[in-house]
Amino acid sequence: MPLTVEDIRTALKDVYDPEVPVNIVDLGLVYRIDLFDDASAPGMEPKQRVEIDVSMTSPGCPSHSFIIETMRNRLAGIPGLSQSSVNLVWEPSWNPERLSADARKQLGID
């Protein structure tokens, strides 16, 4: 069965910002997830590739390299995914309104 955007989003919930005890999805750092079918040789199981736009809470975030590398490692472990591309973007700027309800609860923000 082909992967869905929700499958990717669920996998990325395993990736945490090391400075905040909340995953990057609930922090609102994942801006875009696009899945594409990759051409497969006849008789081969179909594969997909994913492109993701991610931001950080601030342009000076010292953990950006760690977070992106952790994302790539997590994506590499997803069966059926042949390639992943993680793009660091700054527009629109991240703000606390992007926090999920779960993140707000974890951080004690109402």
Q: What are the sequence ranges of the domains in the chain?
A: 5-38+46-94
Determine the pLDDT at residue 33. Answer: 98
Query: Rounded CA gap, 68 and 57, in Å?
Result: 13
Q: Is the pLDDT of residue 102 over 90?
A: yes
What are 62-84's pLDDT values in tens digits?
Answer: 999 999 999 999 999 999 899 99
pTM: 0.89
* Residue 49 in tokens: 């590739």
Beta strands 81-88 and 30-38 are unpaired
Yes or no: domain 5-38+46-94 corresponds to CATH 3.30.300.130: yes
